[in-house]
Amino acid sequence: MNALGYDPLQVRTLFFTHCHHDHYLGLSALLFYRAMKPNAGPLTIVGPPDDLPVVVRLAQEFLQTDRFEPLQQHLELIPLEPGETWQDERYQIQTIRALHPVTAVCGRLTDKHSGAVIAFSGDTAPNAELAGLARGADMLIHDLRVTMQTLGWRKNPQRYLPLQDDISSVAYWYQTLPTTPFPELPNADGLEII
């Protein structure tokens, strides 16, 4: 955030779509940063009712807030069930249940001042309800698991084929965690889709 010119103290609300590690591991660092600053305002944390209290408690225990009093800070936790809507004076987030191994949501964020709408898929598996949630949004942020077959590959001459969908950019990463292993990728000959 600093690199982009934002002070983390500007964050007033955290919204967790769900509490998998790659979504909350930065929480302790943020809480520590806030505790070291004299002018940190209140922080609200919204997330799934089952996992949110656990994750916040563990983040505080990691900071040993019971031993180090300056690290203690008031946090307002707002449990949000999938399907419920959260809002404050500026933003509204409607949700639907994401198809994921833990309680999780897809969301539709509306900026009440500008009217801008951003829908985000979260970590859902293919989910027919997402189309309805995102309909009419200005932007859809979609976590995709895309393989090379989406692009298509021609062997002779070797080149990727033009995209035939509306995906503007794709980031690839190779999953090495033992959570849900990918099937083995096909060889180059298996990539051609014409």
- Rounded to a whole number of angstroms, the minimum distance from the CB of residue 145 to Zn ion is 12
Mark out the alpha helices in 10-168 (DSSP H runs): 21-24, 27-35, 52-62, 129-134
Strand bridging mode 43-47 / 139-141? unpaired
Exposure of 192 by Cβ count < 10 A (0-12 exposed, 13-18 middle, 19+ buried)? Answer: middle
For Zn ion, give the closer residue by CB, 20 or 142.
20
CB 78 within 8 A of CB 15: no
Residue (of 111, 108, 110) closest to 96 by Cα position: 108
For Zn ion, give the closer residue by CB, 20 or 97.
20
Q: How many CB atoms lie within 10 A of CB 67?
A: 7
For Zn ion, give the closer residue by CB, 20 or 53.
20
- Rounded to a whole number of angstroms, the minimum distance from the CB of residue 86 to Zn ion is 19
- Rounded to a whole number of angstroms, the minimum distance from the CB of residue 125 to Zn ion is 10
- Rounded to a whole number of angstroms, the minimum distance from the CB of residue 159 to Zn ion is 34
- Rounded to a whole number of angstroms, the minimum distance from the CB of residue 71 to Zn ion is 28
For Zn ion, give the closer residue by CB, 171 or 194.
171
For Zn ion, give the closer residue by CB, 27 or 117.
27
By CB under 5 A, name the binding residues for Zn ion. Answer: 20, 123
Mark out the alpha helices in 90-128 (DSSP H runs): none
Please give the Cα distance from 114 to 14 (Å, whole number).
20
